[in-house]
Amino acid sequence: MSSIKRLFAIIITLLAFIMLAGNAMWFKSADTGDRLYRVEAARLLGELNDKDISEIDLSQYKTILFVEEYDSTKYCKPDYLVEELNGRLYRIAYDDGRDNSLIILFDFAISAIIIITIALYIYINRKILKPFNRMSDVTTSLAKGNLTVPIKQEKNKVYSRFLWSLDMLRDNLEENKAAELSLQKEKKTLILSLSHDIKTPLSAIDLYAKALEEEVYGTKEERNKALKSIRRNVGDIKEYVNQITKASREDFLNLSVNNGELYLHEMIDKIRIYYRDKLSVVHTEFVVEEYKDCLLKGDKDRLEEVLQNIMENAIKYGDGRKIAISFSDEEDCKLITVTNTGNTLREKELSSVFESFYRGSNAASIKGSGLGLYICKGLMRLMDGDIFAGCNSETFAVTVVVRKA
């Protein structure tokens, strides 16, 4: 910006110099003309000393127009000198060859250009440079991480649009920063929670190991039972370690989807085959109701992940008698509901089950991080869908809302 100021200063200085130089040259030439008509006036007075006015030949004078006896009542348009000779006053009219209107016009033109240049600089400074400086300050502050810097709107349409876009960018950066801080906080909370939970199986292993070392168990059956308990707790520790490792990754809870189109049967068939065999082993009745196939919008892999998460919760928190998948339609959406028997969750807890790290009253003795349904809700929102839960005294249900293509 200082370079523009210097440029305008140079232009104004140059114009002022041109005006001063022009005036100097003009007055120099005027001095030359002034000396000529005065020399000729002196020569004319010399002639008048010897001759009568009527005898004077003015054609030999370049600057003298006429000469006459001075009469103060008589108007004389040209410039003239009044000279005294032998007790008489003479008016000597002359033309020095200069047109003062030229230098006046020259000065006026240069002055007008200077004024226009100053006005142009003031306009550019007020309408362009100052808004640009403010935008530069804003971008510098944003680059330094100061997302609270105020952005003053400008009347200029070009700058107002740019500042509006800059304000949107600032808001997005602020949201991303808040989301990142929240994510880091959640990751830290989860790791601390898992680190605390891991102490329980470690303590159990320690107790069983001491008991075996001190030969507390008298029979082989008791020792085998203790060893099985140790193996079970080792398995729990492995699960906690896996969760801690997963939580430490950069992309943990950084949800993303690759939206496209898929047929309903592609997802349901995969879920049906996998859980039919898994639930038959534990003698849980598994029912997938009849449905009309349709084309859906979303990420196929992520939708399967959501349904698998809901199914695992139904297995983990249900009573193992029955799990059913049903379907319904609402406007341009397909609703997929997973229902399990054996609900022990209170209805007032439904509004909290999708919050991060929430563990319901029915989860006191069951392992978990409290992130499953939270992740499901985040994924469904990214796919322009939704998820909600409902319950009664007998069953608990989670419904996934998927948009039709």
Specify whether 120 is located in the same domain as 243. no
Check residue 370 and give its pLDDT. Answer: 64
Check residue 184 and give its pLDDT. Answer: 73
Specify whether 107 is located in the same domain as 161. yes
Specify whether 84 is located in the same domain as 41. yes
Assigned domain for 186 exists: no
Assigned domain for 192 exists: no
Cα–Cα distance measured from residue 48 to residue 308, given in angstroms and rounded to the nearest whole number: 129
Specify whether 157 is located in the same domain as 265. no
Specify whether 372 is located in the same domain as 270. yes
The whole-number average pLDDT for the span 230-256 is 70
Cα–Cα distance measured from residue 134 to residue 173, given in angstroms and rounded to the nearest whole number: 19
Comparing CA positions, the residue from 28, 38, 26 lying closest to residue 96 is 38
Check residue 234 and give its pLDDT. Answer: 86
What SS3 string covers the chain? CHHHHHHHHHHHHHHHHHHHHHHHHHHHHHHHHHHHHHHHHHHHHHHHHHCCHHHCCHHHCCCEEEEEECCCCCCCCCEEEEEEECCEEEEEEECCCCCHHHHHHHHHHHHHHHHHHHHHHHHHHHHHHHHHHHHHHHHHHHHCCCCCCCCCCCCCHHHHHHHHHHHHHHHHHHHHHHHHHHHHHHHHHHHHHHHHHCHHHHHHHHHHHHHHHCCCCCCHHHHHHHHHHHHHHHHHHHHHHHHHHHHHCCCCCCCCCCCEEEEHHHHHHHHHHHHHHHHHHCCCEEEECCCCCCEEEECHHHHHHHHHHHHHHHHHHCCCCEEEEEEEEECCEEEEEEEEECCCCCHHHHHHCCCCCCCCHHHCCCCCCCCHHHHHHHHHHHCCCEEEEEECCCEEEEEEEEEEC
Specify whether 308 is located in the same domain as 236. no
Q: Tell me the residue range of the domain where 15 lies.
A: 2-98
Assigned domain for 182 exists: no
Does residue 210 carry a pLDDT above 80?
A: yes
The whole-number average pLDDT for the span 217-233 is 85
Domain boundary among 122, 143, 175: 175
Specify whether 384 is located in the same domain as 270. yes
Assigned domain for 184 exists: no
Express as a percent the part of the chain with pLDDT over 70: 78
Q: Tally the domains of the chain.
A: 4
Check residue 395 and give its pLDDT. Answer: 92
pLDDT digits (tens, 9 = 90+) for 288-315: 999 999 999 999 988 998 998 899 889 8
What SS3 string covers 8-38? HHHHHHHHHHHHHHHHHHHHHHHHHHHHHHH
Contact 167, 151 (CB under 8 A): yes
Specify whether 154 is located in the same domain as 206. no
Specify whether 274 is located in the same domain as 249. no
The whole-number average pLDDT for the span 271-278 is 88
Segment among 73-87, 147-161, 369-383 with least mean pLDDT: 147-161
Contact 366, 317 (CB under 8 A): yes
Instruction: Answer with the residue of higher pLDDT: 19 or 29.
Output: 19
The whole-number average pLDDT for the span 186-198 is 67
Does residue 181 carry a pLDDT above 80?
A: no
Check residue 399 and give its pLDDT. Answer: 95
For the entire predicted model, the pTM comes to 0.47
Check residue 156 and give its pLDDT. Answer: 58
Does residue 193 carry a pLDDT above 70?
A: no
Does residue 75 carry a pLDDT above 60?
A: yes
Q: What is the mean pLDDT of the chain?
A: 80
Assigned domain for 185 exists: no
pLDDT digits (tens, 9 = 90+) for 114-168: 999 888 888 887 777 777 776 676 677 666 666 566 666 555 565 666 667 777 7
Does residue 244 carry a pLDDT above 60?
A: yes
For CA atoms 180, 184, 190, 191, the dihedral sign is positive
Comparing CA positions, the residue from 243, 250, 255 lying closest to residue 378 is 255
Assigned domain for 191 exists: no
CA atoms within 13 A on the CB side of 75: 1
Question: What CATH number corresponds to the domain at position 398?
Answer: 3.30.565.10
Specify whether 39 is located in the same domain as 145. no
Specify whether 373 is located in the same domain as 283. yes
Assigned domain for 274 exists: yes
pLDDT band at 182 (very low <50, low <70, confident <90, very high): confident
CA distances from 316 to 127, 282, 312, 320, 403 (A): 66, 12, 6, 8, 28
Specify whether 264 is located in the same domain as 241. no
pLDDT band at 354 (very low <50, low <70, confident <90, very high): confident
Contact 94, 65 (CB under 8 A): yes
Cα–Cα distance measured from residue 1 to residue 132, given in angstroms and rounded to the nearest whole number: 9
Does residue 356 carry a pLDDT above 80?
A: no
Assigned domain for 193 exists: no
Comparing CA positions, the residue from 120, 105, 131 lying closest to residue 9 is 120
* Residue type at 108 in one-letter notation: F
The whole-number average pLDDT for the span 50-72 is 84
